[in-house]
Amino acid sequence: MPELWMPGATRLDIGDHAPTDGGPAKAIGHITWDRNATAAKPQDLVPYEDLRSYFAGGGRAVAPHILWDPFTGRVTQFVPANSRSKSLADAPGGTRTNRAGSVVIQVEALFFPYCRVGKAVFARLVDTPCKGWAELQAWVHSWGVPNTWPMGRPTDFTSHRSASTWAAKGGWYGHSQVPENDHQDPGSWPQFVGTPAAPSAPAKPRVSLAHVVYAARHDPAAAQGHTTYKAEVLVVEKALKAEGLLASTYVDGSFGTKTVAAYARWQRSPAGGGYTGDDADGIPGKASLRLLAARHGFTVTD
């Protein structure tokens, strides 16, 4: 059984416990956004004690489960994990946002954009030390909340909400992603600890039309083995080979007569545009080259 109260957190029970409705386990990321600072006019961070007193007193009607100080790692918990908290707007008749899951654990990070701590100014939550995040993430995960962002990890202060995603998928949500709410926070949130980042797709090779046209016009008459813009020509030749139009022997980076003939066959083919006569002369055109690129994963530039 996971711990109702996060180990290591200061326990400040404000009462008013109530059950959740069941469904996919969720966690919500907020920032306290206590002051409106700017890059030109940063402001000092509000003391942690002020927010803790607020949520335990006059602000208990909007208190989260957790107040987290990403600068020091301090954590205060106001209600147990299996109770709803009240940090989300909850319109009558719609989804009960604060209860819409087996747990709906709400975390308020002590932060506002361009807050100042000492002499340092922090524009985004992810720019802070994010102390204590690993422990907080682990405790939330112990309650069955997947280490995923069903609507994408927040990276700015734009809002995107999908009621169907919210209803169907567990995981972390920004306040900006919760139905019936109009807030734009948290603006950013730290990466999950121990979860490898999704590999980025390799960059597509770039082929300049002007370069390969130049090569097609000059390589055939040059000395054997001469290459012009070899790397880009190789991309085109490998695509022609994959189409069965050019023997591997001639995939050498030189746009010679064999490559010109192969490219002419590509131009005449239905996939290459079905050109005829002088339009299928083996000199790449923008349309035929883009058709080849679309099939073989490279990008055509002018």
Classify 116 as helix, strand or coil: strand
What pLDDT is stored for residue 202 in this prediction? 75
Work out the angle at residue 211's Cα, subtended by the Cα atoms of residues 205 and 213, and round it to the nearest 5 degrees.
115
Question: Closest Cα partner for 27 from 195, 161, 139?
Answer: 139
- 232, 211 contact by CB (below 8 A): yes
State how far the Cα of 262 lies from the Cα of 97, in Å rounded to an integer.
62
Classify 299 as helix, strand or coil: strand
Kindly tell me if the per-residue pLDDT of 66 is higher than 80. yes
At 226, the pLDDT band (50, 70, 90 cuts) reads confident
What pLDDT is stored for residue 139 in this prediction? 98
DSSP 140-203: HHHTT--S--TT----SS-----HHHHHH--EEEEGGGSTT----TTS--PPPTT-PPPPPPPP
CATH number, span 10-177: 3.40.80
What pLDDT is stored for residue 302 in this prediction? 86
pTM of full prediction above 0.95: no
Specify which residues 27 forms β-bridges with. 105, 172
Per-residue pLDDT reduced to its tens digit, 71-115? 999 999 999 999 999 999 998 888 999 999 999 999 999 999 999
pLDDT above 90 covers a percentage of the chain that reads 92
Per-residue pLDDT reduced to its tens digit, 170-224? 999 999 999 999 999 999 999 999 865 555 667 889 999 999 999 999 999 988 8
| Arithmetic mean of pLDDT, 264-271 | 95
Domain boundaries defined on the chain: 10-177, 206-301
Per-residue pLDDT reduced to its tens digit, 278-288? 999 999 999 99
What pLDDT is stored for residue 285 in this prediction? 95
